[in-house]
Amino acid sequence: MTTSPRPTLTSIARSLGLSTATISNVYNHPERVSDGVRDRVLQAAEAAGYAGPDAVARRFRRGTSDTVGVVFTDEMSFALADPASVALLAGLSTRLQEARLNMLLLPAGPPLDDSRVSNVMSAVVDGFIFYSVPEGDPHLAAALRRRLPTVVVDEPRDSVDADWVGLDDGAAAADLGEHLAHLGHRNIGVITSRLGRSRYNGPADDRRWSEAVYSVQRNRIAGLQSGLADDGALFVEERFENSVEAGADALQALLVRHPEVTAVCCFGDVLAIGALEAARRSGLSVPGDVTITGFDDIPEAARVGLTTVQQPLAEKGRVAGELLLSHAHGAAPRKRFLPTSLEVRATSGPPR
């Protein structure tokens, strides 16, 4: 409205013939200021359109941001499309809100456009949560270089000098493998989201495995294998995206390529729900014609009767927040394993 330059604490002080310290006190320590002065200041501020001390300047002066950066692998809209990551976020937000910290969402973005600059370097935060980024992620490296408290969720687990929370994916997958072996399955399909950095959809051959940078998937495959009887065989179908559509598509491809498959493990409930849809559309009965299992146990899993590996999603977020808040500089990295459990429901059964 006014065309005069934006009002500042200094300009208010000058216009009133007061010191900046007094104006500052009106906003930060009102009890140190006399009522008369306070009212005059507030009134003048109102008139000048001054909404209080500038947020950036105050943060700068204070040296703290009361904000935590949350970094996802690539586009945020992908992360938000999976109820599993959203549940994690919800748990994290609960813990951070208790500490009156805000969450800054930082998409790690596609590679790095200009070689050196990451969002992460310029983010105004007091710490970072990294959610499931690949090994050797440059954003994570950048965060670590800033020497801000940093917690990694899920992956990478071992290759990084930071606190970590996640699952024993190998053991969880082994349980699942045993369940399937007991039911009598020998030829098992696997639907996994991306193993490597490059966009690829198709069967995961040795080359894909050799460039795999997502350790969670690697550990699950190894676990499955170990949980199956010795004669169990795994046929892995990879999709770049973790979506219902990708799951549906992958199931089709898998059954065409490997008709001998009697059970399909999806490394995420969202993929499994897609697989279930595809099976239904193809007229296949589940688990009669094919057993389908998931991972995560999102709310919809129970509603559709999906057999899945339950993991405490919100709790994982809460623990991530806790690790961040209790971070001690220079301490050895802490690794927190959360329990999983196999939820056997209606989509798994013996092969025909």
Partner DNA sequence: CTGAAAGCGCTTACAG
Q: Which residues bind a second copy (CB under 8 A)?
A: 1, 49, 51-52, 55-60, 63, 65-67, 75-77, 80-81, 83, 86-87, 89-91, 93-94, 97, 102-107, 109, 119, 121-125, 142, 145-147, 244, 273, 277, 299-300, 303-304, 314, 330
Q: Which of 324, 340, 321, 271 is nearest to 301 (CA)?
A: 271
- Per the CB < 8 A criterion, the answer to whether 8 and 24 are in contact is no
- Per residue, the 3-state secondary structure of the chain, as one string, reads CCCCCCCCHHHHHHHHCCCHHHHHHHHHCHHHCCHHHHHHHHHHHHHHCCCCCCHHHHHHHHCCCCEEEEEECCCHHHHHHCHHHHHHHHHHHHHHHHCCCEEEEEECCCCCCCCCCCHHHHCCCCEEEEECCCCCCHHHHHHHHCCCCEEEECCCCCCCCCEEEEECHHHHHHHHHHHHHHHCCCEEEEEEECCCCCCCCEECCHHHHHCCCCHHHHHHHHHHHHHCCCCCEEEEEEECCCCHHHHHHHHHHHHHHCCCCCEEEECCHHHHHHHHHHHHHCCCCCCCCCEEEEEECCHHHHHCCCEEEECCHHHHHHHHHHHHHCCCCCCCCCEEEECCEEECCCCCCCCC
| CB of 27 or CB of 240, closer to DNA | 27
**Is the CB of 213 or the CB of 270 nearer to a second copy?**
270
- Determine, following the binding rule CB under 7 A, whether residue 151 of this chain makes contact with DNA: no
> How far is Cα 26 from Cα 24, in angstroms, rounded to an integer?
5
Q: Say if residues 237 and 190 touch (Cβ distance below 8 Å).
A: yes
Binds DNA (CB under 7 A): choice among 4, 17, 198, 329: 17
Q: How far is the CB of 26 from a second copy (least distance, A)?
A: 10
Name the segment binding DNA (CB under 7 A); options: 1-9, 170-178, 266-274, 338-346.
Answer: 1-9
Q: Quote the least distance from Cβ 30 to a second copy, whole Å.
A: 8
**Partner from DNA, a second copy, none contacting 18, C-beta within 5 to 8 A by type:** DNA
Contacting range for DNA; rule: CB under 7 A; set: 25-33, 148-156, 189-197, 295-303? 25-33
The site partner of 20 among DNA, a second copy, none (C-beta below 5 to 8 Å per kind) is DNA
d(CA 309, CA 172): 7
> Quick one: what does residue 80 bind among DNA, a second copy, none, with the CB cut-off 5 to 8 Å set by partner type?
a second copy
Residue 265 CB, shortest distance to DNA, in Å, is 49
The entry of a second copy, DNA, none that residue 75 binds, CB within 5 to 8 Å by partner kind? a second copy
| Candidate list 15, 42, 48, 54; residue touching DNA; CB under 7 A | 54
Please report whether residue 33 would count as binding DNA according to CB under 7 A: yes
Q: Which of 36, 330 has the CB closer to DNA?
A: 36
Contact with DNA (CB under 7 A): which of 2, 15, 36, 76? 36
Q: Which residue's CB is nearer to DNA, number 12 or number 279?
A: 12
302 binds DNA (CB under 7 A): no
Residue 8 as a binder of DNA (CB under 7 A): the answer is yes
Q: From residue 55 to residue 94, what is the string marking binding to DNA with x (rule CB under 7 A)?
A: --xx-xxxx-------------------------------
Among 14, 21, 207, 285, binds DNA (CB under 7 A): 21
